[in-house]
Structure 1
Amino acid sequence: MSDHEHRLRQLIDRMTASGSVRSQPWKDAAAAVPRHEFLRNGFFRPVPGTSPTAWTPVCQGEEGWLEVCYADESLVTQIAGTIKPTDIRGEIMREPTSSSTLPSLVLRMLEDLQVQPGMKVLEIGTGTGYSTAVLCARLGDSNVTSIEYDEEVASQARQTLGRLGMYPTLLTGDGLHGAPQGGPYDRIIATCAVRTVPTAWLQQTRPGGQILTTIGGWLNASELVRLTVHEDGTASGPVLGGQVSFMLARPHQTPPLGVLPDLGRGKQREAALGADILDDWATRFIAQFAVPTAQRLTVHNGQHNDDVLIDTTTGSFAALHQENDRWIVRQGGPDRLWDAVEDHLSRWHAAGTPTLKEATIRVTPAGQNISR
């Protein structure tokens, strides 16, 4: 047994023990896909103790490369939209834009997809092609379509899959539009997060089919959801839990803040809920449905720090600060952002503060909401 085969077997054993791999068909599919093949261009590791995070490349053949390929962790494969590990020496301080997801999450999602032999699957976000390969090993190439936004990333995935003898339908384009030419699909799975589930995905999934995606937002909380598409073109389904975090699809990423509005203006009142409630992941996830285009930041105004929600699309803002044991909120612009957050969370609390796993997401062409 080669070194990589031994490491792959150990990885599958760990994923099985953790419950990420729960059935023999997916265990067999994972065993058929050598992960290191998808990381031959290397990956970036975070430099400990750096803020903002600096990244350093690890390339094929370097000490530790193969070992990390079979570690159960996500590995950054592209920085700033174009930079590969082989492009630099030293360190770089830019934002990651593509990665190879930790294998246990890939297999957990594929198990959660509830796929059966013969089903047609559309994957949004090919990335390195690792998850695409596992799908092909389970379903056969002809039943798998995958679309990738980045042409260079897509080209590398195509080469790697071909080297392994796998030839699914690979497309380059905006996955938010789906791939209507191959639909309708029995399943759609997204390896990027979205703020709102695209209408195109609803239209391209057959009634009774399922969409597995991570819904996130600009308040930086996201969850994996499984939606069943109905005859009327809507979809609904449970939050699966686990604080699953993916990079947002590029068209859904946060816009630049630009020039901030005058936070000293606006109407002021005592807040029923303080800004510290947004330090909780589940609360932020719920609040995002009330203010889906708001971002959160801290601003020092000379007297105290304001915890600010700002909507760059409308110019609306809510600035909160603490005075002794009270929270004061000042709101401006056409929308009252904190009013919306308080109303949404108050109704959630009135329903008994259910856990996210008790929640249902409902999606229509007009929007989406969360309820118990």
Structure 2
Amino acid sequence: MTTHQPDLEQTALRGLLQAVSRHLGHDVAPEWCRAAEATPRHRFLPDRIWLSSDDDEPLTPCDREREPDRWFAAAYGDVPVVTQINDGHEPEDASDASPSSSASAPSVVFQMLELLGLAPGMRVLEIGAGTGFNAALLSHRLGDVNVTTIEIDPTVAELARSSLRANGYAPAVVCGDGSLGWSAEAPYDRVVATCSVRQVPYTWIEQTRPGGVILTPWCDDWSHCGLLRLTVGDDGGAMGRYTPDSAFILMRTQRHDLRLFRDVVMDDHVPTESTTTLDPWAVADSPIETQFALGHRLGDLWYAWHHDPDLDGVDTRLWVATTDGTSWAAVDWDGTDNTEHYTVWQHGPRRVWNEVEAAHRWWLDNGRPGPDRLGLTVTPNGQWAWLDHPTNSWPLR
């Protein structure tokens, strides 16, 4: 990089804030502009990051010393940057690289900060310290004493702590399980997660003041999209709605380690055969808004595509299974155009494809709802998804 460094950083920051403003649909608030100016993003990234040109391309390492221009461009691009793969254990095969920690896209960072509705004096618990960048922004706005960030990975936690100190910030950085929150500093006015969850840990609600807000990325076993904003009530529960957004890395303690042919489909299974008129692509290769709604009806079901499965008369197979691995279905397409019927194989105590058909009918009958019509209620006794209003709810599996 030949340009004078401070000038380059200022130019990059202005370009980034313009990109964030375009995403938000309005200028970044002055208080967050000041925080961004005092918290250069590149100072919170490790020297080695992993980049990909798109979701279908494998992650490749980018080292600051070898590729300074590429590294710096990523630091000030409005894109997420992977900062750790495979929980810190690099695989022998680069194609097996899977993100386990990252710096979120700045536009999403500032969108979430806006959704929190912060005010001076508020106390915040952040779940997932990551690079420390988000905690730095919060500390600039609220003061170190009002910010606690918790990180499950010891290496990541130490890097975040070091980066924060190097840039003049000293919030409490705790190495621990974020699903348990951090009771030592509770109660909080805001809890914000930088990882997605399948179930909202009730401890977060217990550690938030009545009237406080919990903001977390959401995913389920069917889809990976959405931000959930809950308001904590006086009754020990919380309620809120979703906004569409990009996917986040899943909280480590909520991962499933399920493999289709190791844990689910066994040689001795004897499935039943039937047919369906429901196009498998209509539920498993549909717009993310559709899959998001279906996921809230299907709960604990997940799917996987199997192309060219080496079976006579089968071009593509869609697998659907329960997260406990006890029930599964396979839907086959023979490769012909204008297919009206697909062969279905099902095994286990639940007829999971029948559940998919019922969820799709519900989606059609209710006007094809997207995330903005869905909400969630969390109580000490469970979690309920709902459509349009909390009275129209069902238990979330």
When normalised by structure 1's length, the TM-score is: 0.90
Contact 1:218 1:254 in 2 (8 A): no
**Can you give the 5+ residue segments of structure 1 that lack an aligned partner in the other structure?**
none
Give the whole-Å Cα distance in 1 for the aligned partners of 2:357 and 2:44. 46
Structure 2 vs 1, CA of residues 193 and 253 (structure 1 numbering), >3 Å: closer, same or farther? same
2:148 maps to which residue? 145
Does residue 355 (structure 1) correspond to residue 358 (structure 2)? The answer is no
Does residue 250 (structure 1) correspond to residue 256 (structure 2)? The answer is no
1:96 maps to which residue? 99
Contact 1:310 1:318 in 2 (8 A): yes
Summarize the alignment of residues 1-372 of structure 1 with structure 2, pairs less than 5 Å apart: 2-19=7-24, 22-46=28-52, 53-60=58-65, 62-64=67-69, 65-83=71-89, 93-242=96-245, 244-257=246-259, 258-262=262-266, 265-271=270-276, 273-277=278-282, 278-280=284-286, 281-299=288-306, 300=309, 302-303=311-312, 304=314, 305-322=316-333, 324-365=339-380, 366-372=382-388
The Cα offsets for residues 93-119 of structure 1, whole Å up to 9 and x where unpaired, read as 421211111111111111111111111
Contact 2:196 2:251 in 1 (8 A): yes
Contact 1:218 1:295 in 2 (8 A): yes
Residue identity in the other structure for 1:71: G
Give the whole-Å Cα distance in 2 for the aligned partners of 1:358 and 1:50. 27
2:395 maps to which residue? none
Contact 2:50 2:81 in 1 (8 A): yes
Contact 2:218 2:227 in 1 (8 A): yes
- Per-residue deviation, 1:217: 2.2
Identity %: 32
- Per-residue deviation, 1:160: 0.7
Secondary structure of 2:311's counterpart equals coil
Structure 2 vs 1, CA of residues 209 and 81 (structure 1 numbering), >3 Å: closer, same or farther? same
Give the whole-Å Cα distance in 2 for the aligned partners of 1:174 and 1:181. 14
Aligned residues: 367
- Per-residue deviation, 1:199: 1.1
Give the whole-Å Cα distance in 1 for the aligned partners of 2:18 and 2:144. 26
Contact 2:144 2:171 in 1 (8 A): yes
Give the whole-Å Cα distance in 1 for the aligned partners of 2:19 and 2:57. 32
Contact 1:142 1:169 in 2 (8 A): yes
Contact 2:304 2:318 in 1 (8 A): yes
Give the whole-Å Cα distance in 2 for the aligned partners of 1:137 and 1:306. 52
Secondary structure of 1:81's counterpart equals helix
- Per-residue deviation, 1:208: 1.3
Contact 1:142 1:168 in 2 (8 A): yes
Shifted more, 15-24 versus 225-234: the winner is 15-24
Shifted more, 191-200 versus 19-28: the winner is 19-28
When normalised by structure 2's length, the TM-score is: 0.84
Contact 1:55 1:91 in 2 (8 A): yes
Secondary structure of 1:221's counterpart equals coil
Contact 1:126 1:154 in 2 (8 A): yes
Contact 1:144 1:169 in 2 (8 A): yes
- Per-residue deviation, 1:310: 1.4
Shifted more, 339-348 versus 188-197: the winner is 339-348
Secondary structure of 2:193's counterpart equals strand
Give the whole-Å Cα distance in 2 for the aligned partners of 1:63 and 1:33. 20
